[in-house]
Structure 1
Amino acid sequence: MSDDSSHCPCCGQLNQCAQAGADAPVSECWCFSVPVDSAQLVKLPPEQRNRSCLCPRCAQGLPPETPPANS
């Protein structure tokens, strides 16, 4: 996974966190009010914890979205 703080350490998708890449602390973001599934945090290697936010799907313990199949 990327060390980029704008990507989810679980799935690699953009985490949509307002704090990622911000020059100053932000006062509002989706991640401030959504409970994070603790099972997701346990899956992360210790070196990836507290480095970037999970994406909304991973934070809720949902599987990553898959792109629609081309038919």
Structure 2
Amino acid sequence: MTEPTNQDACPFCLQTNRCDVAAKQGCWCNDLTVPQALLNLLPEPLKNTSCICRQCIVSFNNNPSLFLKK
């Protein structure tokens, strides 16, 4: 059984991702590069369907080990 996805929530921290890509003026995510290594950590059903929040991207860039499962 798969969990339903919430397009408004970051798949890592589950907080509001604040994505506004549908808005005419664009979104912050158009100006920030999401590391491929972070994208690779997404579960398959969430790839290309979920927006990662800015804070998780910054956190990953600063310390990728925070995102590794122990």
Q: Same fold (TM over 0.5)?
A: yes
Taking structure 1 as the reference length, the TM-score comes to 0.67
Greater helix proportion: 2
Aligned residues: 60
Q: Stretches of 4+ moved more than 6 A in 1? A: none
2: CA distance, partners of 1:2 / 1:13: 15
Per-residue deviation at 1:27?
Answer: 3.1
Q: Which runs of 5+ in 2 are unaligned?
A: none
One of 14, 17, 27 as aligned partner of 2:16: 14
Per-residue deviation at 1:54?
Answer: 0.2
**Identity of matched residues, %:** 34
Taking structure 2 as the reference length, the TM-score comes to 0.67
Q: Which runs of 5+ in 1 are unaligned?
A: 64-71
Letter in 2 for 1:52: S
Larger Rg: 1
